[in-house]
Structure 1
């Protein structure tokens, strides 16, 4: 068995959920591109921001695995990928310990960013850690009360993009904030596809996600808008001067949209796992191509 096969066969590979990691990379790419466009690119802060964002994403995944099992949300009828805690592949205390380790490592990375960026980065870091814990845990879990998409948009859009920009430029303007919107919308779409797939089991478990509240039809329309609006924003961003003409390269990601929208209305159950992966890929491809117009 090769090293790659060994890694992918590990229960920890399932727990980390690597297909979700593009959600943390996309906004860092956009924020760094904005810094490049303003001649403020700094390699080490950009790398630290990427590492910190990915560690927080893994921590969120582990927390979700641990707390959903603790609250009885996950079961053998689950439609999504295997949850390592519920299935017994990894003991709950080990999943919890791994989550804490990721938060500690993210904090260590954050110390460097705080030393560079000061108080604003302290505030961002504290909010990110609290949101990681509150997403699935606490008395009012974000994920179980219809706020998952909103928090995904905020923390993987404005917070991540502007934070990445700030630790490099050490200043802030409207461009990073406005251009963070497409990245945030696409990550919110990833969250919505996940919740759309889980409507049957979440409804039984009492998990009131936005998809459960809206129902299959309206949630599919909502998710379709989340993946379409970033493309319609391109002309507005260009005309307002926030994006260079090269940003229209992001239209190259448009062929990925129609299959996703088709799946939203016609695909159910575990088959939506592939739609989830496709939406994550769309987020990264769009952000990479879009970033060219921000960096130039």
Structure 2
């Protein structure tokens, strides 16, 4: 396999590239939203040490998921010279398969260790949730993403679990209660982050069809997939009406400024349609979801005063 001469095999730079730093935004945003809700509902009484553990767990799990994806797509032959997305470490020879297997063990172990203290704050059920996160980290790439279930997993593992778990664990035990408002925000957050997966799979639709990877985009086709990309962003913001019913107007209004960015990115997606240029749309989508997260957090914190 032809190597990129600019990246030395198994070097520090190779590992940084393999970790895909830009994807860490999707891991951080749900935790930020969960903490903001804890501040709002807890009257400023927030267990920041629990929030930090949630953030560390989310970030390490994201890196672990990236390594899993890199390694298993490589051994399954999905990452070849016809792939349009950013280059992958194993397929480019930046990292050997043996080293990546070792890294998978280490990052999984680090994720478990970073999440273990959360048992103190949430009980043994927290351990079960963490184990499920680790399990599906591997199942996503190895089988579920090829069966059109990737988008559902994003809603669960980038929306429901990280937002609500962070919210719950960051609150003092006596302040915890079920919140439909937080549940709605978790779903909205998952929808916004799913735009990243949608555009990623839209770019790779031809290659995925060739290698037999049946993503939701493959099932829907390009036209419906583009419309779904636009729709989920608007649906996420519309769900913010629930915040108004709970007296949190700014938490609804500020995220609306995300929509012009989302719409402009959608138009770029339609205009480009095919090819490596869609990687720019992927980058813009990552920026958009970070902006959405910041706006929602800002609205929640301002509403807390």
What TM-score do the two structures reach when normalised by structure 1? 0.92
Offset at 1:242? Answer: 6.5
Distance in 2 (CA, whole Å) between partners of 1:37 and 1:227 is 24
**Matched ranges for 1:91-102 at <5 A:** 91-102=96-107
**Matched ranges for 1:197-236 at <5 A:** 197-234=203-240, 236=241
Distance in 2 (CA, whole Å) between partners of 1:163 and 1:11 is 33
Offset at 1:75? Answer: 0.9
Q: Is the contact made by 1:28 and 1:160 (CA closer than 8 Å) also made in structure 2?
A: yes
| Counterpart in the other structure of 2:28 | 25
Q: Is the contact made by 1:58 and 1:99 (CA closer than 8 Å) also made in structure 2?
A: no
Q: Is the contact made by 1:19 and 1:280 (CA closer than 8 Å) also made in structure 2?
A: yes
Distance in 2 (CA, whole Å) between partners of 1:24 and 1:225 is 22
Offset at 1:157? Answer: 0.4
| Counterpart in the other structure of 1:151 | 153
**Matched ranges for 1:281-292 at <5 A:** 281-292=287-298
Choose 74-83 or 161-170, whichever is displaced more.
161-170
- CA deviations over 1:46-80 (Å, ceiling 9, x no partner): 11111110110111111001001111111111100
What TM-score do the two structures reach when normalised by structure 2? 0.89
Q: Is the contact made by 1:247 and 1:289 (CA closer than 8 Å) also made in structure 2?
A: no
| C-alpha spacing 1:43/1:91, structure 2 compared with 1 (3 Å) | same
| Counterpart in the other structure of 1:183 | 189
| Counterpart in the other structure of 2:122 | 117
| Counterpart in the other structure of 1:161 | 163
| Counterpart in the other structure of 1:72 | 77
Distance in 2 (CA, whole Å) between partners of 1:184 and 1:229 is 11
| Counterpart in the other structure of 2:109 | 104
Offset at 1:233? Answer: 2.4
Distance in 2 (CA, whole Å) between partners of 1:63 and 1:188 is 19
Distance in 2 (CA, whole Å) between partners of 1:44 and 1:118 is 16
| Counterpart in the other structure of 1:59 | 64
Q: Is the contact made by 1:68 and 1:136 (CA closer than 8 Å) also made in structure 2?
A: yes
Structure 1 stretches of 5 or more lacking a match? none
Offset at 1:246? Answer: 4.7
**Shift >6 Å, 4+ stretches:** none
Offset at 1:214? Answer: 0.9
Identify the match of residue 264 of structure 1 among 246, 269, 276. Answer: 269
| C-alpha spacing 1:120/1:175, structure 2 compared with 1 (3 Å) | farther
Structure 2 stretches of 5 or more lacking a match? 1-6
RMSD between aligned residues: 1.9
Distance in 2 (CA, whole Å) between partners of 1:281 and 1:47 is 23
Q: Secondary structure at the match of 1:10?
A: helix
Distance in 1 (CA, whole Å) between partners of 2:228 and 2:250 is 29
| C-alpha spacing 1:87/1:242, structure 2 compared with 1 (3 Å) | farther
User: What number of residue pairs does the alignment pair up?
Assistant: 287
Q: Is the contact made by 1:59 and 1:99 (CA closer than 8 Å) also made in structure 2?
A: yes
| C-alpha spacing 1:242/1:89, structure 2 compared with 1 (3 Å) | farther
| Counterpart in the other structure of 2:4 | none
| Counterpart in the other structure of 1:142 | 144
Choose 266-275 or 153-162, whichever is displaced more.
266-275
